[in-house]
Amino acid sequence: MKIRKKTERIIIRSVLYLPIIMLESISISNCMTKNIKTIQLKEPLFKACRIMKDNRIGCVIVVDESSSNTPVGIITERDIINNLSLPDANLQILVNSIMSKPIVTIQETHSLIDALKTMQKNNFRRLPITNKEGKLVGIVTDKDIFKIIINNKELLSDLNNNKNFQFSPSILEEYREHLFENIFRPGVS
C-alpha cells in the first residue's frame, strides 16, 4: 500500500512538472504503474483472488508461461463475480478458462489521449502497457489518469476544450466519483 501511494506521488509529481499542455504530448509511460501483478495461465482462480486481495488491486494480468511477460488475458473483479454467480462456481478453476481475452494493450510510446480513447472505446477501467516486443511493462487505470488530470489545470482545460474527444457516460461517472473522493474525502482512494 505504501509503495503504491509513493509510486503514485512520484508519477504525479513528475508529470505535473513537465511543461506539457497537450494531452497528446504525454507518454502513457509517464502515467503507468510499473509494479504489475501477474498470474500464469494454468493457475487456479483462488490464487488470482489472493493476489488481488493482498495487493488491494482490481485485476491481475494473465501471462503465458512459455513467453515471459507476454500478456494473454486479464482477470478482473467482474470476471470473478461472474464466475462465482454460476451454480457450479469453483475457485479451483484455471484462470485461462474465465479470463477476459483477447487482451487489449497499448504500447508505452503512445500518449495519454491514446490510452483514454482505447479505454473509452472498449469500456475498460484498466489498460495493460507493453513495450515494442509485446512484453508487459505497466498498467494504467482510469484513476491514475484522473489523478494526473485533476492535479494539472492545463491538462484539465485541454481535455475540456478537446472537440475530438468525448467521454462516455461510464468514464464520466468514474471521473465524477474520483473527483468527489478527492475533494470531499481527501486521503480516501
- Residue count (the chain): 189
In sequence order, what are the beta bridge partners of 59?
A: 76
**54 contacts 8 by C-beta, under 8 angstroms:** no
Query: Residue 10's domain is classified under what CATH number?
Result: 3.10.580.10
The model carries a pTM of: 0.70
State the pLDDT at residue 25.
74
Residue 97 — pLDDT band, cuts 50, 70, 90?
A: very high
Q: What is the pLDDT of residues 105-131, one digit of tens each?
A: 999 999 888 888 888 888 888 999 999
State the pLDDT at residue 11.
46
87, pLDDT greater than 80: yes
Residue at 24 is within a domain: yes
Residue at 152 is within a domain: yes
Residue at 189 is within a domain: no
Q: What is the dihedral of CA 84, 89, 91, 94, to 10 degrees?
A: -110
**112 contacts 31 by C-beta, under 8 angstroms:** yes
State the pLDDT at residue 18.
38
State the pLDDT at residue 13.
44
Measured between alpha carbons, how far is 71 from 73 in angstroms, rounded to an integer?
6
Q: Which helix (DSSP H) or strand (DSSP E) does residue 74 occupy?
A: strand 71-76
**53 contacts 141 by C-beta, under 8 angstroms:** no
User: How many domains are there within the chain?
Assistant: 1
Q: Which domain holds residue 37?
A: 2-184
